[in-house]
Amino acid sequence: MLDKGRPVYTIGTAAELLGVHPRTLRLYEDAGLLRPARKNNRRFYTSNDLEWIGCVRYLLHDKGLNQEGLKRLLALLPCWEIRGCTIEQMDACTASKERSAPCWDLARQSGTKVNECYQCPVYLAAPDHVLSPEERQEAMKYITHD
């Protein structure tokens, strides 16, 4: 069985499975809504990414959020709780003070070379924090590979 966290889908394949243009995936990434794995400057998506993109599309198209609103909602995720940070780690963390973007996007904005956000527990927990189980199930209509 394929590991859901293994980055195996190219941007073209992921776009095809999601029924979107590859540019849409680049726009979501530019907006800070997702962080696919990178290998030699090429994007690779995991099954977890595909599910998250389904959730993003659900929130944008069915729930009426725009990209900036979704980005701000994701900025409110308590990453320090999800990761189990100590008080010292939380005090040193930009994401606990700066609440304008998700922690994975703040890392990108600061120039930090973060290539493994796709494995981050905060990134992986985002769907559970912004959608109910029923909404997550509804969001899966945006994924055609299942």
Q: Which tens digits make up the pLDDT trace of 20-62?
A: 999 999 999 999 999 999 999 899 999 999 999 999 999 999 9
Q: Starting from the edge strand earliest in sequence, which strands make up the sheet with 9-10, in order?
A: 9-10, 42-45, 37-39
Predicted confidence at residue 115, as pLDDT, reads 58
Predicted confidence at residue 113, as pLDDT, reads 57
Predicted confidence at residue 146, as pLDDT, reads 45
Cα 84 from Cα 54, distance rounded (Å): 27
Tokens matching residue 101: 């973007």
Cα 69 from Cα 73, distance rounded (Å): 6
Tokens matching residue 53: 């993109």
Dihedral of alpha carbons 65, 38, 111, 89, sign:
positive
Bridge partners of residue 38, in order along the sequence? 43
Give the architecture-level CATH label for domain 9-142.
Orthogonal Bundle (1.10)
Predicted confidence at residue 80, as pLDDT, reads 85
> Which residues in the chain land under pLDDT 70?
1, 110-116, 145-146
Domain range summary for the chain, segments of one domain joined by +:
9-142
Residue with tokens 């680049």: 26
Predicted confidence at residue 94, as pLDDT, reads 80
Predicted confidence at residue 89, as pLDDT, reads 86
45 to 6, 14, 34: CA distances (angstroms): 8, 7, 10
Cα 83 from Cα 1, distance rounded (Å): 27
Q: What is the DSSP letter of 82?
A: H
Predicted structure pTM score: 0.87
Predicted confidence at residue 112, as pLDDT, reads 61
